[in-house]
Copies of this chain bind each other. A is one copy, B any other.
Amino acid sequence: MEDQAGDSAVQAPGEVLGPLLDYLARRLRAELETELAPLGMKARHMIALTVLREFGERGQSDLGKALGMDPTNTVSLLNDLESQGLAERHRSPQDRRRHTVTITPAGCRRLAECEGIISRLEQRMFDIDAQQRTELHKLLVHCAASAAGGPESPAAGPMAVLPN
């Protein structure tokens, strides 16, 4: 809409999404970290637990790939979760090099708690109705799916991060 006929063949230059995404992600993340801190949690702990709950047991490196993070950082992430009893590592009997990671009941409870927090936070922060939220979610999922298969795609399933 209101395209300034001329370069609209490609894309309205003002409709660049990157900076907007960047700003919103930053803003939301900052707030979330504040609210999660009392629980000893950070955003990435929550995301990791989400993957584990939605997809069950996963190899440690698979989990790292799904989160789009470096394998070295996956180590300390799991150390955090394990020390709080939210997740567990087990050696795979088939291949004793591999670690199989699972979420614990305590992890499920903690995750539900966090989901309530972020859900309320988003409702407070973004003044959009249910329909708009659903539409936005749909578009973002679509983008994420195509980005996952885009240039130098990091792996098959970074988008496994988000259910739905």
Contacts and interface: CB of A to CB of B under 8 A. Distances in A.
Interface string A1-34: 1000000101111111111111111111101100
Contacts of A134: 1, 12, 15
A140 B29 contact: no
B143 A14 contact: no
A37 interface: no
A20 B137 contact: yes
Contact of A141 (B20, B119, B152): B20
Contact of A14 (B17, B139, B163): B163
A76 interface: no
B124 A27 contact: no
Contact of A139 (B15, B119, B125, B136): B136
Given A15-B164, A119-B10, A163-B14, A125 B140 contact: no
7 contacts: A8-B130, A16-B118, A16-B162, A18-B29, A18-B122, A21-B21, A27-B68
Interface of A: 1, 8, 10-29, 31-32, 43, 46-47, 50, 68, 115, 118-128, 130, 132-137, 139-144, 146-147, 150-152, 158-159, 161-164
